[in-house]
Structure formats: C-alpha cells, structure tokens
Structure 1
Amino acid sequence: MWAIIVVVMVSSLIPFYWLINTSLKFGPGLSTADLWPRDPSFQNYVDVLNDGRFLTAVGNSVIVASVTTLLALLFGSSAAYALARLPLPRKAVMLTLVSAVTTFPVITIIAPIFEIWTQIGLYDTLIGLIIPKLTFSLPLAIFTLTSFFREIPSELEEAAAIDGCGPITTFVRVILPLATPGLAATAILVFISAWNEFLLAVALTSTPAAQTVPVAIAYFTGVNQFEIPLGTIAAASVIVTIPLLAVVLVFQRRIVAGLTSGAVKG
C-alpha cells in the first residue's frame, strides 16, 4: 500500500516540480532539460509581478471566485436543506436533475450565452462571468450539502421547534453551525473550480479589464511572435497555484469530512 501511495504521490508531484523548475530558468536555460536549473533566477517572477495585466487578472479571479462561492453557499445550502429535510415530493428526482446539470459540456452553452450577453450588455464584465460559473457551481454545492444535512440528527430540529424556533431560525441557528465542515469543504471546492475555469472566461471576455488568471496566462506573449514565454507562464502558474495548494492542505480534513458525509450509516 505504501509503495502505491509513493508512486501516486511522485507521479502527481513531478509535473508541479517541473513547473517550478521551468519557472526558475531564464533565457537560454529554458531550452535545457536539467533536473535543476544551472543558474536559478527569479527574473520570471519579477516580470510577472510587474505585469499590470496579470495583477488585474488576479484581482478579477479573486472577485469572481469569491462571489461565486458565496452565492453558491447561500442558494446551495437552502436548496440542500430543503431536499434533505423538508417533505417534498420527488426529492430523489429533483436531486438527480440538479446533478445532471454538471454533465452538460460547457462548450454547448457558450454560443447562446455569448449572444445573450452581447445583447444585454453583460459581455466582458465580471457579472457576466459570475452568473454562468454559478450555474455549474450550484449543483456541486447542493449535492455535497444535501448529503451532509442528512447526517444531522432530526431530534435537534424537533428540540428547536419545541423551544419556539421557526424553520428559518432553526436552519440559521442550529443546522448551519453544525454543517460547518460541509460548508467549508463545499466552499473550497467551488472556489477552486471557479478559479481554474477557463472556457467560459476566455469566451465571455475580450479585454484585460474582465479577464481572469487562466485567460491572462494563456495570452502571455514573448519578445516576438515566434517565442513561447515558457518561463513567465510557469512562474505565473506557480504564483496562482501555491495559494490554492496551501488552502487545500490546511483544510484537507474538512474537505474529506464534507465529501464523505452520508457515505456510512450508523
């Protein structure tokens, strides 16, 4: 088992190590395949951090991913609580339909969204990115939180009702505090998904004012049209990846708890 774990870890970390390796190479060193740069340089990082367009893209990504996550938690927790607790008919069918949204390829809806956004003035805006990203983030939030809410004992709601709490008060003051691990796991997963999303971001934006990090990195240019700026692309990728890795490592237990809730009965 440990041998398998080591193989999986090494195979997963090699691409990230090579990304760091490439980011430390500059000039002629980029054409070498050394396992470690002969003359490590942080010039690529300096160039990236001095690029105003990249910093603007980072700010756009933070806004889009944060707002998408907050809205997904707000609407997703309410819908998940209703599907998990309220006596609604056909709850299994509704949950299946919600999950089915994630099976639709994003490419199939880009053309109509582009046309609609252009007509109503949402093209190349942050709001125009948040709405479609939220559409694909909500099913993930609802599905994850529904499983978590089912694990909370119903006796707590009955006790709250005896004390005079209404459904909304019970949900806000009793259920949500107990669902903190599930909310944290869902928030992290939704944030990472919205942060890394590329297809919607590149199709629904055209200027640096609304472009997010993945699009900004894709549009990096070299000194001339025949040069691929591998060093700056690698440095930018490292800069935007390390914070996500840190968040996942810090909250990994909450992520596992949120994803495995409802998997075991008793």
Structure 2
Amino acid sequence: MEKKAGPLFYVFMVIFVFIVMFPFIWIFLSSIKPSSDLFGDNAFDWFSDEPTFKNYVSVFTNYPFLKYLWNSFVVSSITTIYTVFIASFCAYAIARMQFRGKTVILGLVLSVSMFPQIATLSPIYIILKNLGLTNSYIGLIIPYTTITLPLSIWILVVFFRKIPHDLEEAAKIDGATHMQTYWKVIFPLAVPGLFTTAILAFIAAWNEFLFALTINTSDNYKTVPVGIAMFQGQYTIPWGEICAATVVVTIPLVIMVLVFQKRIVSGLTSGSVKE
C-alpha cells in the first residue's frame, strides 16, 4: 500500500516551486510596470498601481524583434536537426559496434565540450571571416556544433547502450545490414532519447550568446539573446522592455517543454532501469 504524502511535503513543494519560479515571476511583473515604478521607492513592490503592456508593444515596434526571433528559430532548428542526425550515427557506432579507441573517442568528445568558448572564439571567428561566413546563418550553425554535438553524442550513447542486443542479433540473422538494423530496429526504440536530445540541443542553441555576439554583427542576422542585450535607451537602459522581451523569448521554450513533457520524461528515464 502506497504511503500518502504529508502536509509538510506539499508545503515544501510550494516553497520550492516558488523559489524556482521567482525570477520569471519577478521579470513578468516588472515587464508590465511603467518605467517610473522600476526605480525609486516603488522598485520592490510586487504589483504596480498602473500596469501597462506598453513595454511589449515597444519591443515589437521600436526594435526588429520579430527578425531576432526568426533568426534564433532558424539557427537553432537547423543546428538541432543537423546535430542530432550526426550524433545519432556517432553514438550508435560507439555504443553498438566493437572497434579500438572507443574510450579515446569519447574522451575527445568530452574534452571538446569542456573547452571554454572564449578560448575557441578567436580561431573560429578568423576561419569564418576568411570564408566569408560572418553575418550569415551558416556562420552560427558551424560553431554551435561545437556546443551541441558533444552533448548529443554523450546523451545518445547512454540510450543506445540500453537497447537489448538480442534485437540487433535477430536483425543480423535475418540478413539486415548495419544501416537497415539502425533504421528499422534501433532508431524506433531510440526515439524518446533522440527527442530529449533534440530538445536540449535546441535550448542550448537558442540561448547561446557569445558566438552570436561576435560572429553576426548585422541586425539582419542577430539572434534573440544578442538583440535583447543591444536594447538601448537615450539616457537609461530600458529595463521594462528588456523584461518584456525576456518573457516573450521564454514563453516558446516553456510551451515546448509543457507540450512534450511526456516524451522528455520518457527519454530521460528510459535508460534508468536495466532490462
């Protein structure tokens, strides 16, 4: 018989959720305050006496914010599709095939992900500049691979290793090649892991700032994080508009996670129980 949670558990959960959500709640409340309420004696008041949505209107009328959103969506989507596609083959080979140097390859993948971005920024920028790829989508997709590909490979290796080998052996007995085995047997079973990896890769690319700031300096190719950072007022920083833009940027990620939460949880837990 399952034991019911006590009232202290629910009190703890409410406190925990409030702490986690507090930054987003505060930013949202700040986004609907007039500029006068963001400073002075009213700066720490939860609610404004005169709430307004002018900051949201200003974000879309005074800045090319829709263009920033589109740029982020295009770069993040292409990066995610390309990365997960390549990572799935790499992870399958490492997890399911026998060859020398697998441990070394995984170590190299991990070492690439541990490099600080600032250390690789200069050589990557010089290469892209010489190739004429700055201020372009492909100019961000290439360096974003250094962030998302190692992460994707490491996550997918774990999922592929948890798939029973008997299924693969049965496919080989039936005369299936490695590619046929992958597409008809392994791939359908790895869909939860692939989906989870794609979500994490998309979020990583969507939130990236340093490469986007350095490589794409034209307004036509700036992504959302850089666009928000470039918000400027004549005499002060427009914190209300920045908060409004932050809410707008966060909402698509929240909706995506809520819509696909079952698949994400399934992907994160599918390798936790050994068959």
TM-score class normalised by the smaller sequence: over 0.9
Q: Report whether the alignment pairs 1:254 with 2:263.
A: yes
Taking structure 2 as the reference length, the TM-score comes to 0.91
Q: Report whether the alignment pairs 1:151 with 2:159.
A: no
Instruction: Name the structure 2 match of 1:20.
Output: 28
User: Any unmatched runs of 5+ in structure 1?
Assistant: none
- For residues 74-131 of structure 1, the C-alpha deviation after alignment (integer angstroms, 9 at most, x for no partner) is 1000000000001121322221221221111001011111222212101121111000
CA distance in 2, matches of 1:261, 1:178: 10
Q: Contact conserved, 1:182 with 1:259, CA < 8 A, in 2? A: yes
Q: Contact conserved, 1:144 with 1:258, CA < 8 A, in 2? A: no
CA distance in 2, matches of 1:54, 1:173: 43
Instruction: Name the structure 2 match of 1:48.
Output: 59
Instruction: Name the structure 2 match of 1:37.
Output: 48
Secondary structure of the corresponding residue to residue 201 of structure 2: helix
Instruction: Name the structure 1 match of 2:240.
Output: 231
Secondary structure of the corresponding residue to residue 237 of structure 2: coil
Instruction: Name the structure 1 match of 2:4.
Output: none
Cα shift at 1:251: 2.4
- For residues 28-49 of structure 1, the C-alpha deviation after alignment (integer angstroms, 9 at most, x for no partner) is 2222222112111111111112
Cα shift at 1:2: 4.6
Q: Contact conserved, 2:29 with 2:47, CA < 8 A, in 1? A: yes
Provide closer, same or farther for how the CA distance between residues 120 and 48 of structure 1 changes in structure 2, counting only shifts above 3 A. Answer: same
Q: Report whether the alignment pairs 1:195 with 2:206.
A: yes
CA distance in 2, matches of 1:256, 1:100: 28
Secondary structure of the corresponding residue to residue 124 of structure 1: coil
Pairing partner for 1:214 from 205, 216, 225: 225
Q: Contact conserved, 1:58 with 1:213, CA < 8 A, in 2? A: yes
Q: Which moved more, 1:89-98 or 1:169-178?
A: 89-98
User: Any unmatched runs of 5+ in structure 2?
Assistant: 1-8
Cα shift at 1:5: 3.5
Provide closer, same or farther for how the CA distance between residues 156 and 51 of structure 1 changes in structure 2, counting only shifts above 3 A. Answer: farther
Q: Contact conserved, 1:144 with 1:259, CA < 8 A, in 2? A: no
CA distance in 2, matches of 1:160, 1:188: 30
CA distance in 2, matches of 1:205, 1:213: 12
* Aligned structure 1 segments of 4 or more residues deviating by more than 4 angstroms: 1-4
Q: Contact conserved, 1:60 with 1:210, CA < 8 A, in 2? A: yes
CA distance in 2, matches of 1:35, 1:26: 13
Cα shift at 1:257: 3.4
The share of aligned pairs that are identical, in percent, is: 47
Instruction: Name the structure 2 match of 1:169.
Output: 180
CA distance in 2, matches of 1:253, 1:100: 32
Instruction: Name the structure 1 match of 2:15.
Output: 7
Instruction: Name the structure 1 match of 2:103.
Output: 92
